[in-house]
Amino acid sequence: MNSLSFTALRTLWIKECTRFMRIWVQTLVPPAITMTLYFIIFGNLIGSRIGQMDGVSYMEFIVPGLIMMSVITNAYSNVSSSFFSAKFQRNVEELLVAPVSSWIIILGFVGGGVARALLVGILVTLVSAFFVDINIHNPLMLILTLLLTATLFSAAGLVNAVFAKTFDDISMVPTFVLTPLTYLGGVFYSLSLLPEFWQWVSKANPVVYMVNGFRYGFLGASDVGIGTALSVLIGFNLLVFATAWHLINKGVGIRS
């Protein structure tokens, strides 16, 4: 990467981070409050009746899933709203005529989404520390799963924004796709509780591998193989990034 490309990437990344930090009360605080309510309702009130799951308290079991859920939602929404706003205001054209590659544009927006997702993940982890003792079983797996998930959904948010024609198109995917996938992704339950057929059906949900990979990093327990989880994450990342590059490079939904 030459100095011009590095400067462009750094500038775009700083712009994206400044964008969500300027309105931190709207971007960082609400996820922390929402997850606090999840901890109180599902962890303390319902969890005390459920008891243990996979050898740990129910509260400890759902912590990794709730952190991952907040990471997925914020990574996706940050990039989709930011890129669509740039497209709607027509200042994305300035990026297209600038002497930078499509990869720089993609990495700049994705970097902003990853930064917000990581900050929210840290905040939710700090909140969870008030309810459970945080123990990390495998730090490397924890970091890898977190970064791969944040980059995947940041890039997916970019793809959504490219095709979106109205702000309603931005909210449809989180409502009708992300929410069902996360709630059915093993955040609140172990796949072992399901009948065998539905366990196989659940394994078609990519979020299952993200949640379980992250849970393994915390607790050392997972419903899927760790190698399989990483392979799924890397594979989806390559697919979504390649799609984003093709769309930006061809100017789909951007160039008139």
Q: Are the CB atoms for 125 and 84 separated by under 8 Å?
A: no
60-103 tens-digit pLDDT = 898 999 999 999 999 999 999 999 988 888 777 777 777 788 89
Q: Flag whether 146 is in a domain.
A: yes
Which of 205, 16, 214, 18 lies closest to 124, judged by CA?
214
Q: Coil, strand or helix: which one is 165?
A: coil
114-143 tens-digit pLDDT = 999 999 999 999 998 888 888 889 999 999
Kindly list the distances between the CA atom of residue 191 and the CA atoms of 39, 195, 221, 245, in Å, as whole numbers in the listed order: 21, 9, 12, 35
Answer yes or no: is pLDDT of 192 > 70. Answer: yes
Answer yes or no: is pLDDT of 255 > 70. Answer: no
CA distance 141 to 144: 5
Q: Are the CB atoms for 230 and 152 separated by under 8 Å?
A: no
CB atoms closer than 10 angstroms to residue 79: 30
What is the distance between the terminal CA atoms of the chain, rounded to a whole angstrom?
30
Q: Are the CB atoms for 141 and 216 separated by under 8 Å?
A: yes
Q: Flag whether 127 is in a domain.
A: yes
Answer yes or no: is pLDDT of 234 > 80. Answer: yes
Q: Flag whether 256 is in a domain.
A: no
Instruction: Report the pLDDT averaged over residues 164-192.
Output: 87
Find the range with the poorest average confidence among 48-62, 143-157, 166-180.
Answer: 48-62
Would you state the pLDDT for residue 1?
63
Q: Flag whether 30 is in a domain.
A: yes
Answer yes or no: is pLDDT of 174 > 80. Answer: yes
Q: Flag whether 143 is in a domain.
A: yes
Q: Flag whether 229 is in a domain.
A: yes
pLDDT cut 70: percent of the chain above it: 97
Instruction: Report the pLDDT averaged over residues 167-192.
Output: 87
Q: Flag whether 47 is in a domain.
A: yes
Which residues, other chains included, contact 84 with Cβ-Cβ below 8 Å and sequence gap of 6+?
A: 161, 164, 167, 170
Find the range with the poorest average confidence among 21-35, 87-101, 113-127, 215-229.
Answer: 87-101
Instruction: Report the pLDDT averaged over residues 29-34.
Output: 90
Q: The domain containing residue 52 runs over which residues? A: 3-250
Chain-wide mean pLDDT for the chain?
Answer: 89
Domain count, the chain: 1
The pTM for the full model equals 0.92
Residue 194: band (very low, low, confident or very high) from pLDDT cuts 50, 70, 90: confident
pLDDT cut 90: percent of the chain above it: 48
Would you state the pLDDT for residue 55?
78
Would you state the pLDDT for residue 90?
79
Q: Flag whether 255 is in a domain.
A: no
